[in-house]
Amino acid sequence: MSGLGRVALAAVIAVTAGTAAARAEESEDGNRRLFVKHCAECHGRDGKGGGAAASELAQPPPDLTRLARDNGGEFPLARVMRAIDGRDRPHGSSDMPVWGEEFAYDYTDPYRDRWGIRIKVRRLAEFIESIQEPGN
């Protein structure tokens, strides 16, 4: 490969890497915004359970930053997603919205409903995973 070809290849790699990094950062910001919009009222912006509406609930919302620690150091992604979408009720009460049903209102096409809901639920779970506190 010529010197010019190597330079062009290096430029393409740099742009691709920069684009991927920008997408990852945008995704993280989007996940945080989704959490703030749908979860922070009860769980607090930091996920520790001290949101503005927490005192009005039958049971206090859990500290979401301790889920991995309370699960032997492994984040329970599938369980968190089931709690968010309503397949598992997280605390035995009806305080937490069934987000799977709530997110369905964002769509009109049944095919997009299913995937759009799963994507939002996954993004929320990924954000919650990103705020886990270390330790046992």
Residue ranges of domains in the chain: 3-130
Per-residue pLDDT for the chain (136 aa), expressed as one digit of tens each?
Answer: 566 666 555 555 655 554 444 444 446 788 999 999 999 999 999 999 999 999 999 889 999 999 999 999 999 999 999 999 888 765 555 678 888 878 877 766 666 567 788 899 999 999 999 999 987 5
Give me the pLDDT at residue 34, please.
Answer: 94
Q: What is the pLDDT of residue 22?
A: 41
Q: What is the pLDDT of residue 63?
A: 96
CATH architecture of 3-130: Orthogonal Bundle (1.10)
Q: Would you state the pLDDT for residue 65? A: 97
Cα–Cα nearest to 57, from 41, 46, 45, 70? 41
> What is the rounded CA–CA span in Å between residue 1 and residue 77?
45
32 alpha-carbon distance from chain centroid: 7
Residue 66 and residue 115: Cα distance in Å, rounded?
28
d(CA 53, CA 74): 29
DSSP alpha helices (H): ranges in the chain? 3-38, 40-43, 77-85, 99-104, 110-130
Please give the single-letter amino acid code of residue 134.
P
